[in-house]
Structure 1
Amino acid sequence: MSLISEKELAVELKTEQSVEAAYSRELVQVTADLRRGLPTLIECDKELAPFVFLQIRNRLKEFSLKCQYLDGRQPATSEGGMTVGLLASILNQLREAVRGATEQKVLILPHLDLLTTSQGGLTSEAREAVVLLYENPNIVCLGFKDPSFPLPRVIENLFPRRVNLLGIPRDRLRYLITQKESRKFGRELNPWALYKYVSGMNAVRLRRVLSTLEGEDYPTDPRKAYSEIRSATLAGSLEMPEVDLNRDIGGYAKVKTRLQREILDLLLRRERAESEEAASRLEELIPRGLIFWGPPGTGKTFFAKAMATAIGAAITIVSGPELKSKWVGESEENLRLIFHKARQAAPSIIVFDELDSFASSRGTYSGSGVEHSMVNQLLTEMDGFHKDELVFIVGTTNFVEALDPALLRPGRFEFHLHIPYPDAEDRRAILKIYDQKMNLQFTEAALEMAVKRTGDFVEGTADDTRFSGDHINALCRSIARIRLRENKTGPTAASEIEQALMEYVDTPKLSAQEELVVATHESGHAVCALFCPNSPPIERITIQSDSARALGYVRYQDRNNRFVVTRNELLDDICVLLGGREAESLLLEDLSIGSSDDLKRATSLARYLVEEIGMGGDEVGVVRYMEDFRQGATRWSSLSEEQKQILDRRVKEILKESLQRAAAILRENRALLLSLRDLLLDKKVIDSKTLQELKK
């Protein structure tokens, strides 16, 4: 759509004219249907309904077809002389119109929502109204449905024709702007840029907003006028975020690239389209339903806000549990209102946080069944989108596999964006952002320390909880509080990272004898790892009890090959796991229970080699013996006693061979083992650099 000059626009527009200009095609169709005796239901905003009625009435007059507007405003009294309410008055009007009609006429029903409860059921008065509406075949009804309210099926069935007047047709926008108003957007009007912000408005509301625009004529930058329009469309919980995808979100290069290429770039090309046909083609390619999934705290909602900022969209964040209600129909009503407000404020993004809380697979619900109705309502709303509506639905979840498959098919939530825990580069970028925002002044050593320490599990949480963006934010705020409390103004040192991480972690205090055992055990792991060629490099060794889950540990760097694991790597892992136990036996001539978990993991690896991946040797052969537990089978259920004994014997042989190998490595490098243990007792923590120097 090309730019429009001021002279091409109307000098003045009345509200009636704008309604005619915006919905002329629909008005012609409704008039034709009513003349043919087909009851019609128009879905539109309340403020638009009276003007649509006037346009239709004027058209019907040309064909001598009368209209009767049942709005309940005529004074009506009961038999006792008491004034009755609006609904009773409408019912009286309807009763008189239906039972007294002898010629064909059109009954206008502007308040159908009064005949329903908030849950979409029939009121007591509505039951009589429905009977009346079906009673006289000479009556043709024109009903108006408020998008915010559902209608019972028995009422909807009255209307074989239905017309939707939500928003403004894109090709009619140029006829709804006056010359005076266009001056607020510059010398020439870009209808694409304007339509982006008004597509969800009806013609009456648009005229009201445009007529109140302030500011200078012919500005060099029309953003002030767009901002005024944007503020007029925001309501309720809708907000305009200011989150820059690259400036405010650190790392996640792949996630950003995919979001940019698949969504943002297409929307930009759509705005720059020079024809209706080109824009329509692009709109067919843009996904409207998006799933952002990944662990908690990784920034799923933050990415949605960045997307909203990039396209100038309003955003509303809805918590799944908050939508649920114990009252029948209220949960669906909540969903309906959210979609209605978002459409009015387009471009907009609805974020359903914890989508899986109500949209899990149907048939798995254990509650009242309200989730089933909510999923159906969500599907109905999504299927009702117009392709030129810029309304996006983002569902965030930690468990994408739990979502109802009907939501994930193309046309609904078809775009899936995985936002995982941040890797080292992501963490470094996130830390730099918070460093700048909080003026922490990280030294290079402090930054690298923070990157490494946040690569581990989070203290005080479950074993599988790693550092997310939220955890890194909390760490940086903790550092800032420490610096404020201790009046530090210089650069942040590496020791402050450790202080912020461990200051309030409740860790055990080891006695001297306990430290000796732990240092011996961890040194055994480390020395075996140094002499096992397929073991990953060591990053850090500690006996400082800086973890609530372990008295000490050896942390390894990530393997170079992350996706391909070889037999020799698994055998080296078993050897290293048994190295701690053998070190205790060699130097202390005793064993502690600290090797319990090591032994468990080593046994599991040995069984994996023998029973699952056919690497147990010639005696057991290249066969998978382990059955699938998910199918309810028990291990070895189909094997003979002889086969079971062979497998068990081979597992024990692998463990014995690995134990002997670990013992041999430690005996040959006893001096290194003693030096490393003594250094650990002295320093408590040894990094990779110190370890390499010690090995030399």
Structure 2
Amino acid sequence: MSQRIPEESLPTELTPFQAVEAAYPAELERTREALLRGLPVMVEADKELTPYFYKCLRDRLKKDGKQFLYLDGRAAAEPPPGMPAPSMMATLIGQLRDAVRGAVRERIVVLPHLDLLTTSSGGLTSEAREVIPLLYENPEMLWVGFKDPSFPLPRVIENLFPHKETILGVSRERLRHLVTQRECRKFGRGLQPYVLYKHVSGVNAVRLRRLLGAITGEDYPSDARPAYAQLRSATLSGSLNVPDLDLRADIGGYSQVKDRLQREILDVLAHKDTLSDPEAVKRVEGLLPRGMIFWGPPGTGKTLFAKAMASSLGAAVLVVSGPELKSRWVGESEENLRQIFVRARQAAPSIIIFDELDSFASARGTYTGSGVEHSMVNQLLTEMDGFRKEELVFVVGTTNFVESLDPALLRPGRFEFQLCIPYPNNTDRRAILSIYNEKLALGMTERALDYAVKRTGDRVEGTGTRFSGDHIQALCRALARRRLREGAQTPTEPVDVERALTDYLDRPALTPTEERVVATHEAGHAVCALFCPSAPAIDRISIRGDLAGTLGFVQYADPAHRHVVTRGQLLDSICMLFGGREAEALLLEDLSIGSAHDLERATEIARELVEELGMGGDGLPVRRFDAPGRDADRHALSDATRGTLEAAILEVLEVQRARARDILRREKPRLVALRDLLLERKVLDREAFVHLAPEAAPQKEPAHG
């Protein structure tokens, strides 16, 4: 358990002034010393803290014989009857004029409301333009200015203060001096400062005293969580909230992603809570990555995982859209970022989620906009470098393109923790579907669940992308809406899943002749695949035009060996690509332009074999050749060498084209039967054409040219 401080060692009563003295002795002393050296000081602190900090500072400097002039813009007397009261700004200007031009050498002039001089975007108000000359008119003046963290200041005002003090929250070491004995009893026996600090690290001393005094409940409870929950609720403001999302129960699948988050972040934090040695706690805090990158394709749940992590930590979440931070006004984008961090630190523990981080944090030198992105990256790094180690503030950036991020962000100490969240595999999709099946009361049978898992392994019809978690959620919501409309009481079957996926697709309307061409083409690909020993298994064949940009397709299962590609596999791929074209020539005695992409891809593979992989066959040295027209300055090729390469590429293509033609002629009955089955059913799963597959006898090795 973390260290417990005996109740009797805590103060019995605390006024707000005593709390400020106890919380900020170092800040007060640094400010005092700067003023004694003749340096103007700017104190950045919450508005409610300003009058208390000023009084504590004044009491310290009175011992040094210093006097203060407090200019807050309030009139000294009521205006005469019938006369309107002057504005606060007009009164402040008058007070400043009198102060600057009067005999005030021995007095320290206090400006508690510097934000009165600025607009919300950090510019100068029209009245402030009259104030600026006054501030610089008397170089003998000694100023103390108070700045609210929520308001930016223009440089011309900040330059007036060579010494700056920033006060945000309280330090963990001073927390024991800010809790009274009566308040300590609400959390059990003895104060656990490390546990309490998690909930109040961003709260200033004055507000903390108010929050602690408002806690209700019995003394010495057996469970202190309700008291901590009251604190957590009181420190949330505006749109901030703590998500209610269980990492294991509410997110389906992705066991490796969950395990890594658990081991690297959540378990480390849980271990920290068991420590009592302050030095051990500091060592553990130094191990925590404060910046994290969650990357992967769109819709895979990157933001969802960040929210689940926040829920496990009891942390508030700020979701920030990268593009929304940008502004055309100079300095406003950086100020938007600064305000985000101020809010997060005030509500700690918290997680800032930068959605689409790459929108402003791309690698420097690649910016195409106004260049504000460079300044935003610098501001982001500055804010992250300013975290105290004990503060539980994490930054999560989500992106689809981690390779495009600025390398400065990815170095250790910044966004060092990178988590890939890929498209869901079969196991993940089943878990996701099971969660929505229960939440939406879909009543899916085992056959329907199996079919949905298999069906979502294809590309998303009409788009060409793979199914993500968002796509699966959309499928389940479509099923739920259909059941609601139809008042369905029966279980959901595979046919219902198929209808939800395809009923509203905008498919091309093919004529019977066009369908016959497409069916012939796809059957040719499939039959060649059945007789190529290195080809992956076929999962599905379609001629419905349900994949973006194609009228038909053959969907292959994932290969058994994903990371090692052999020469035989590449040659089989070329043979399969020629299958559609050769089937048209054999059965239709004509050719369509549908094989254009197949021919392009086959040529690319053949060129790679010959020029880059040293697999061109006999007569060519085993070395890498640069393609004609590519890297010509580095490796100039003679005309003879280029001719030899082109001949080798042509030979590879012709050998595989002949091989595809031979397979189709030999297996013409299978080709015709598969084409006719496709014309009848439009879509075939593996079970529908398994009877057309070659016998289980060992296949003859093809002649690899």
1:331 Cα deviation (Å)? 3.0
Task: Report the AA paired with residue 54 of structure 1.
Answer: K
Q: Distance in 1 between matches of 2:50 and 2:548?
A: 66
Find the aligned partners of 1:388 and 1:676 in 2 and give their Cα distance. 67
Superimposed CA distance per residue, residues 433-472 of structure 1 (whole angstroms, 9 cap, x where no aligned partner): 11111122222222222222222222222x3x22111111
Of 88, 91, 105, the residue aligned with 1:89 is 91
Output one character per residue of 1:273-330: Cα deviation in whole Å (capped at 9) or x when no partner. 2122222212222122222222211111111111110110001112222223344443
- Matched to 1:46, the amino acid is K
Q: Any residues of structure 2 matched to 1:541-552 within 5 Å, and which?
A: 541-547=541-547, 549-552=549-552
Match of 2:691, SS? Answer: helix
Shift in Å, 1:385: 1.9
- Alignment check: 8 A CA contact 1:626 1:635 kept: no
Number of corresponding residues: 692
Q: Give the counterpart of 1:209 among 205, 208, 211.
A: 211
**Identity value in percent:** 61
C-alpha change, 1:350 and 1:102, in structure 2 (3 Å) is closer
Quick check: 406-415 or 610-619, which moved more? 406-415
1:526 aligns with 2:526: yes
What secondary structure is seen at the aligned counterpart in 2 of 1:413?
Answer: coil
Tell me the SS of whatever aligns to 2:48: coil
1:11, 1:178 within 8 Å by CA — same for their partners in 2? yes
Matched, 1:668 2:666: yes
Q: Relative to structure 1, is the Cα distance of residues 30 and 595 closer, same or farther in structure 2, using a 3 angstrom cutoff? A: closer
Seen in structure 2, the aligned counterparts of structure 1 residues 623 and 180 have a Cα distance that, compared at 3 Å, is same
CA distance in 2, matches of 1:242, 1:171: 31
Letter of the aligned partner of 1:662 in structure 2? A
Which residue in 2 is equivalent to 1:498?
498
The letter of the residue matching 2:33 is: A
Query: 1:240·1:313 contact (CA, 8 Å) conserved in 2?
Result: yes
Q: Secondary structure at the match of 1:189?
A: coil
Specify the alignment match of 1:357 in structure 2.
359
SS at match of 1:646: helix
CA distance in 2, matches of 1:326, 1:677: 59
Residue 445 of structure 1: aligned partner: 447
Measured in 1, the distance between the counterparts of 2:128 and 2:78 equals 19
Seen in structure 2, the aligned counterparts of structure 1 residues 628 and 230 have a Cα distance that, compared at 3 Å, is farther
SS in 2 for 1:42: strand
Does structure 1 conserve the Cα–Cα contact (< 8 Å) formed by 2:460 and 2:547? no
Alignment of 1:412-427 (within 5 A): 412-427=414-429
Report the more deviating stretch, 497-506 or 675-684. Answer: 675-684
Equivalence map 1:92-241=2 (5 Å): 92-101=94-103, 103-123=105-125, 126=128, 129-134=131-136, 136=138, 139-241=141-243
Aligned to 2:559: 559
Aligned residue for 2:69, secondary structure, equals strand
Gapped runs of 5+ residues in structure 2? 696-705
**Residue 610 of structure 1: CA displacement?**
1.3
Partner of 2:698: none
Contact 1:293 1:418 in 2 (8 A): yes
Cα distance per residue 1:48-76 (max 9 Å; x no partner): 01111111111222222222212222438
Partners of 1:534 and 1:328 in 2: CA distance: 59
Cα distance 1:635–1:684, how it changes in 2: closer, same or farther (>3 A)?
A: farther
For residues 76 and 644 of structure 1, do their structure 2 counterparts lie closer, same or farther at Cα, with a shift above 3 Å needed?
A: farther
Contact 2:521-2:584 at 8 Å conserved across structures: yes
Question: What is the CA deviation profile of residues 372-404 of structure 1, one whole-angstrom value per residue up to 9, with x for unaligned ones?
Answer: 443333333223222222112222222233333
Q: Structure 1 residue 646: deviation in Å?
A: 1.8
Match of 2:261 among 239, 259, 266: 259
Q: Which residue of 1 aligns with 2:701?
A: none
How many angstroms apart in 2 are the aligned matches of 1:245 and 1:46?
Answer: 38
Alpha-carbon offset, residue 512 of structure 1:
4.3
**Counterpart in 1 of 2:474?**
474
Residue 459 of structure 2 is aligned with which of 434, 454, 457?
Answer: 457
Contact 1:507 1:547 in 2 (8 A): no
CA contact (8 A) 1:627 1:636 kept: no
Structure-to-structure mapping, 1:679-690, within 5 angstroms: 679-690=677-688
By how many angstroms is 1:137 displaced?
A: 5.7
Choose which of 374, 377, 380 in structure 2 pairs with 1:375: 377
Cα 1:48/1:642, change in 2 over 3 Å: same
- Mean alpha-carbon deviation: is it higher for 328-337 or for 236-245? 328-337
Question: How far 1:29 sits from its partner (Å)?
Answer: 3.0
Distance change >3 Å, CA 96–CA 261, structure 1 → 2: same
Following the alignment from structure 1 to structure 2, what is the Cα–Cα distance between the partners of residues 408 and 184?
A: 43
The offset of 1:201, in angstroms, is 0.3
Secondary structure of the corresponding residue to residue 656 of structure 2: helix
In the alignment, which of 653, 656, 663 is matched to residue 655 of structure 1? 653
Cα displacement string for residues 554-610 of structure 1 (whole angstroms, at most 9, x for unaligned residues)? 221111111110111101111122123323333444433333332222222112211
Contact map agreement 2:462 2:546 (CA 8 A) in 1: no
Gaps of 5+ in 1: none
Amino acid of the residue matched to residue 59 of structure 2? Answer: N
Pick closer, same or farther for the CA change 1:225–1:89 going to 2, 3 Å: same
**Deviation string, structure 1 residues 400-447 (Cα, Å, up to 9, x no partner):** 333333333333333222222222222222111111111222222222
Residue of structure 2 equivalent to 1:387? 389
The superposition leaves residues 508-551 of structure 1 with CA deviations (integer Å, 9 ceiling, x where unpaired) of: 34444444443333333222222211111122233455445433
The question of whether the paired residues in 1 share the 8 Å contact of 2:611 and 2:627 is answered with no
Contact kept in structure 1, 2:457 and 2:467, CA below 8 Å: yes
Whether the aligned pair in 2 keeps the contact of 1:75 and 1:89 (CA below 8 Å) is no
The structure-2 alpha-carbon separation of the partners of 1:110 and 1:647, relative to structure 1 and needing over 3 Å to count, comes to same
| CA distance in 2: counterparts of 1:234 and 1:628, whole angstroms | 64
Deviates more, 1:349-358 or 1:409-418: 409-418
User: Counterpart amino acid of 1:355?
Assistant: L
Q: Are the aligned partners of 1:521 and 1:580 in contact in 2 as well (CA < 8 Å)?
A: yes
Q: Deviations over 1:76-116 (max 9, x none)?
A: 89999875332332333333333333652322221222233
Structure 1 residues 87 and 663, CA, compared in 2 at 3 Å: closer, same or farther? same
1:49 alignment partner AA: T
CA distance in structure 1 between the aligned counterparts of 2:134 and 2:685, rounded to whole angstroms: 86
Using the TM superposition, name which of 567-576 and 289-298 deviates more.
Answer: 289-298
**What is the letter of the counterpart of residue 666 of structure 1?**
L
Q: Structure 1 residue 200: deviation in Å?
A: 0.2
Q: How is 1:279-290 mapped onto 2 (pairs within 5 angstroms)?
A: 279-290=281-292
Q: Which position in structure 2 is the counterpart of 1:396?
A: 398
User: In 1, distance between residues paired with 2:548 and 2:333?
Assistant: 43
Mapping 1:626-665, distance limit 5 Å: 626-627=626-627, 638-665=636-663
Give the deviation of 1:204 after TM superposition. 0.4
One-letter amino acid matched to 1:584: E
Could you say if the C-alpha distance between residues 369 and 586 of structure 1 is closer, same or farther in structure 2, counting changes exceeding 3 Å? closer
Counterparts of 1:49 and 1:115, CA distance in 2 = 17
Say if 1:193 and 1:447 are closer, same or farther in 2 by CA, change over 3 A: same
Matched position secondary structure for 2:575: helix
Letter of the aligned partner of 1:200 in structure 2?
G
| C-alpha distance in 2 between matches for 1:502 and 1:610 | 43
- 1:17–1:545: structure 2 CA closer, same or farther, 3 Å change rule? same
Structure 1, residues 143-168: CA drift from partner, whole Å, max 9, x if none? 22221223333433333332222111
CA contact (8 A) 2:303 2:398 kept: yes
Alpha-carbon distance, 1:617 to partner = 1.7
Kept in 2, the 8 Å contact 1:627–1:635? The answer is no
Between the aligned partners of 2:669 and 2:577, the Cα distance in structure 1 is 20
Distance in 2 of aligned mates of 1:102 and 1:581: 95
Take 2:572 and 2:351, find their aligned partners in 1: how far apart are those partners? Answer: 51
In 2, Cα distance between equivalents of 1:444 and 1:616: 50
- TM-score scaled to structure 2, two decimals? 0.91
- Tell me the distance in 2 between the aligned counterparts of 1:25 and 1:246: 44
- Deviation of residue 132 (structure 1)? 4.4
Paired with 1:687 and 1:125, the residues of 2 have a C-alpha distance of: 76
**Alpha-carbon distance change, 153 to 585 in structure 1, aligned in 2, over 3 angstroms:** closer
Distance 1:513 1:184, change over 3 A: same
Q: Retained in 2: the 8 A contact 1:76–1:84?
A: no
